[in-house]
Chain A
Amino acid sequence: MNLFNLLKITYRSLGKNKTRAFLTMLGIVIGVGAVIAMLAIGNGTRQNIQQQIAGLGTNVIIVTPDATNQGGVRQEVGGAVTLTQADADALPGAGPAVRYASPLVRATVQVLAAGHNWRTTAYGAYPSYFDIRDLALQAGTRFTTRDEQVAAKVCVVGPTVATALFGTTDVVGQQVRVGSIPFRIVGVLVAKGQSGAGQDQDDQLLAPFSTVQKRLLAGTSVRAILLSAQTEARIPEATAGISQRLRQRHRLAPGAPDDFAVHTQTDISNAAGSVTGALTVLLASIAGISLLVGGIGIMNIMLVSVTERTREIGIRLAIGATGTDVLLQFLLEAVVLSVAGGVLGIGLGWGLARVAAHALHWEITVSPSSVGLAFAFSSAIGVFFGWYPARKAAHMNPIDALHYE
């Protein structure tokens, strides 16, 4: 028998049982849909996080104290004073690849204005911090180098802080009290929204480094040094220069471990990438299990249908169908069902991804490779789970099958 006749027989057979065919497909539709949607959402998450990391600024390099090896006493990371303002000031000299450098300190503060009270994080840094982090202002100006020199009581606030205190972002020139010290607002940041970690990036207050360190913290420690490289390509060069310079300044013997750590955006993005990668694998394997269950569903229905259609198989054998004809017919029915289910599932998955994209406001795209994978997998499931019932049908004894009630 030729393949075309077989297709005709299969098509007629499926057409006679549309409801059963649809219900059989449903498992595969949901399985494939889940795989497509999960892979799309996983990829969307990764892209979103990478975007947030890119939002840290352009070509950012972060140096933090690494206190794990000081005088044999293990201390809290970031709690040591191995980095100083002098280190930060020396780093632009670490090589031509370094563009800006700024020390950074942080304090949690209570801000008061117009009878309102707001708890936020105050960062102290040089004016170049705005360049390093790509921070733009919607109103006012940055604080200046002069402000830095005199530890001026001026600040730039994020929109969240401005709105919490004044109910508006039109706050340039207003006075606020940070702790007990009065500050004048000179600028308001452009809203950035939530970070990948769910932190409100607009809930912050920026002031000159010296102001925060001396007036708010009254200490000498530097939490981190933020730098930027001239170009992305020159980040490795800049990193090498920074390490060399800091080792020199800290008088570290050759072979001694660094007492600081240099992070680049690439490091952070790699770390985040491995987390989101694991997440995607997790989501895809859950979806894969539902695809497997769908395949078992097909086998189940095909097995039941072999029993239910015993008489039909008997008639086919009596009028001259060979065992191979019957085997191929049942196999083809299973494959057609799972492939059709796969196609509908791709549609469903695409729809789910669109819904997720709309709800999360992320860019979520269905990749062609995940469509190909789901399609190939669902066809394979048809062959794999269709084989056993088809073989069972093909090996029936024609007389027993004809007299089956």
Chain B
Amino acid sequence: MLPAPTLAAAPPASPARPMVQLHGITKTYQMGDVTVRALRGIDLDVPPGQLLAIMGASGSGKSTLMNIIGCLDVATSGEYLLDGQNVERLSRDQLAGLRNRQLGFVFQSYNLMARTSAFDNVELPLLYAGGRSATERRTRVLAALAAVGLADRAASLPNQLSGGQQQRVAIARALINDPVLILADEPTGNLDSRTSVEVMGIFQRLNAERGITVIVVTHEEDIASFADRTLVFRDGLAVADTLATAKRDAGQVLAALPVVGK
């Protein structure tokens, strides 16, 4: 088979190629007369398969960075390569395509469609992706719900589910198109500690079993301790970058926690 003509700029495909590459990323907002410098030059490489925690006080710029990595926002200056692809030159619709197929989002407030069943919520990105039959979609949705332990709640509406269950539906939705990167913005912010550990357990499992890169924004040391690496933000700059020496296993932590009753 003849090799396909390769793009001159395409980097060599090697395991070393970072999933996320940021060079000198800045972001400034104009709020009336005041110029807010949310990010003041970020350089960051996230290797594929890493579980990265980003910590920082509110206003430190961590959410702004998440939005840029998630292709929801564009940096004022700097270079961003997602899985080797420069996203700066992509159109609005191409960015939407990236979000749909390469990325998965998990939010603090779950952001499920109201009055819409768990099944329909999880199916939605598949409908936007197109190209799959109804049977195929059904199989995938049920598999994604099973992966987060909600196989029996497909027909439930968000208001019939607990916070933890809603967040798990949101994770299933993020998983449905086999993303390479999951971005979770304070995913445990509204959850009690046991459910928080459960959610982090799901992230650890997806990370270990499927090799999905996961970036979690949090302000809890506890949550960050489940990650491979922790980045600390202050005033728009990364002030600390540490690899975990004693990464906790959510499964073990959960087993040690007292059962409060179901």
Contacts and interface: CB of A to CB of B under 8 A. Distances in A.
Interface in A315-331: 315-325
B72 A320 contact: no
B128 A325 contact: yes
B130 A319 contact: no
Interface string A162-175: 00000000000000
Given A319-B99, A398-B72, A399-B72, A1 B116 contact: no
Interface in B121-155: 124-125, 127-131
Contacts of B97: 320, 322
Contacts of A314: 111
A316 B129 CA distance: 12
B173 A319 contact: yes
Q: Size range of the interface on B?
A: 20 to 34
Interface string A1-31: 1100100110010001000000000000000
A134 interface: no
Given A5-B128, A9-B124, A398-B72, A323 B113 contact: no
Nearest to B112: A315
B100 interface: yes
B100 to A, nearest CB: 2
Contacts, number: 71
B105 A323 contact: no
Contacts of A402: 72, 107, 111
Contacts of A232: none
A138 to B, nearest CB: 71
A312 interface: yes
Given A1-B127, A2-B130, A320 B96 contact: yes
Contact of B116 (A2, A12, A323): A12
Contacts of B127: 1, 5, 8-9
Interface of B: 67, 70, 72-73, 92-93, 96-97, 99-101, 105, 107, 111-116, 120, 124-125, 127-131, 173, 177
Interface of A: 1-2, 5, 8-9, 12, 16, 311-312, 314-325, 398-399, 402
B96 A315 contact: no
Contacts of B107: 402
B92 A323 contact: yes
A324 B129 CA distance: 13
A319 B105 contact: yes
Given A319-B128, A320-B125, 9 more contacts: A1-B129, A8-B127, A9-B127, A16-B114, A315-B112, A318-B111, A320-B100, A322-B97, A325-B128
A16 B96 contact: no
Nearest to B129: A320
17 contacts: A1-B129, A9-B124, A9-B127, A315-B111, A317-B96, A319-B100, A319-B105, A319-B125, A319-B128, A320-B128, A320-B129, A321-B100, A321-B128, A322-B96, A398-B72, A402-B72, A402-B111
A386 to B, nearest CB: 20
A16 B116 contact: yes
Contacts of A318: 70, 72, 99, 105, 111
Given A1-B127, A317-B96, A399 B67 contact: yes
Given A12-B120, A318-B72, A324 B99 contact: no
B172 to A, nearest CB: 12
A370 B127 CA distance: 38
